[in-house]
């Protein structure tokens, strides 16, 4: 191959590598954004900007969690690399009374002294009514209600005709719900009808 055409080939290769690199970076970023709705922070996490500034990505909270609820995000997400998160549908928070994850955090990114009952990791809601057996009348189901550690307060099965022909609506009191995710994990639908989303100004 002549020298000019080899140089052209090298230049083309370099350009392709840059484009692939940029696309790879963008798709990782996009994936992170797409999954952001599912991602919950540990109990006691400061509001997101303060949390990101305080968390030193040490992973001590993840190691301390006896239920394997917490994970550390990798370079591909679903949160900022090295930060702790959990996905309720996979493994919810068991609301440990002694909150081991918070106790080991060396920086206060997870608020020291948090009482687990005061945690507000997110809030549950019946996001997909069409999937809910009770709401559509396909069957009577109260799996989410039964799974809730605060059933009767954070969640109740409100009785009455629904828009889709059912007779019961799982109804969450956002002021009481801790965002533990037990209802989402327990949801009997193939894809959860009730889901927990992080609160934008989450505190605790
Ligand atoms: S409260 Fe318990 S289950 Fe929940 S994240 Fe902390 S250590 Fe894990
Ligand atoms: S223990 Fe605290 S500082 Fe360490 S990863 Fe967990 S939240 Fe971040
Ligand atoms: S997230 Fe679900 S299970 Fe947990 S407190 Fe809220 S309604 Fe109850």
Cα R_g (the chain), whole angstroms: 22
Q: Percent of the chain beyond pLDDT 90?
A: 77
Q: Which of 203, 151, 195 has the alpha carbon at shortest distance from 173?
A: 151
Nearest CA to ligand 3 atom 5: 177
Distance CA 18, CA 14 (A): 6
In the CATH hierarchy, which top-level class contains the domain 36-197?
Answer: alpha beta
pLDDT at 80: 93
Provide mean pLDDT across the span 88-112. 97
Q: Are 120 and 178 in contact (CB under 8 A)?
A: yes
Closest atom, ligand 1, to C-alpha of 95: 1
pLDDT at 51 over 70: yes
Tell me the per-residue pLDDT of 121-134, one tens digit each, with 9 for 90 and over. 999 999 999 999 99
- Residue ranges per structural domain of the chain: 36-197
Q: What is the mean pLDDT of the chain?
A: 85
* pLDDT range class, residue 27, cuts 50, 70, 90: very low
Cα–Cα distance measured from residue 180 to residue 77, given in angstroms and rounded to the nearest whole number? 21
Close Cβ partners of 11 (under 8 Å, ≥ 6 residues apart): none
Task: State the SS3 of 133-165.
Answer: HHHHCCCCCCHHHHHCCCECCCEEEEECCCCCC
61 lines ligand 2 (CB under 6 A): yes
Kindly state the tokens that stand for 115.
Answer: 């009482």
Distance 150 CA to ligand 3 centre (A): 7
Query: Which pLDDT does position 127 carry in this prediction?
Result: 97
146-161 burial string, b = 16+ CB within 10 Å, else e? ebbbbbeebbbbeeee
Going by alpha carbons, the residue nearest to atom 1 of ligand 2 is 105
Going by C-beta distance under 8 Å and a sequence separation of 6 or more, which residues neighbour residue 197? 37, 122, 123, 125, 127
């Amino acid at each position: 191959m002549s020298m000019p055409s080899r140089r052209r080939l090298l230049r083309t290769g370099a350009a392709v590598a840059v484009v692939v690199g940029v696309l790879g970076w963008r798709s990782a970023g996009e994936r992170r954004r797409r999954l952001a709705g599912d991602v919950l922070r540990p109990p006691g996490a400061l509001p997101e900007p303060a949390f990101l500034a305080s968390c030193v990505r040490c992973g001590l909270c993840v190691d301390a969690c006896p239920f394997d609820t917490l994970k550390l995000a990798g370079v591909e997400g679903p949160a900022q690399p090295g930060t702790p998160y959990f996905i309720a549908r996979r493994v919810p928070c068991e609301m440990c009374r002694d909150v081991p994850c918070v106790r080991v955090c060396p920086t206060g990114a997870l608020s020291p002294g948090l009482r687990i009952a005061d945690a507000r990791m997110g809030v549950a809601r019946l996001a997909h009514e069409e999937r809910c057996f009770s709401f559509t009348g396909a069957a009577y189901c109260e799996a989410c209600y039964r799974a809730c550690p605060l059933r009767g307060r954070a969640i109740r099965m409100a009785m009455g005709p629904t828009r889709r022909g059912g007779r019961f609506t799982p109804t969450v009191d956002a002021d009481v719900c801790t965002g533990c995710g037990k209802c989402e994990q327990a949801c009997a639908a193939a894809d959860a009808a009730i889901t927990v989303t992080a609160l934008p100004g989450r505190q605790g």
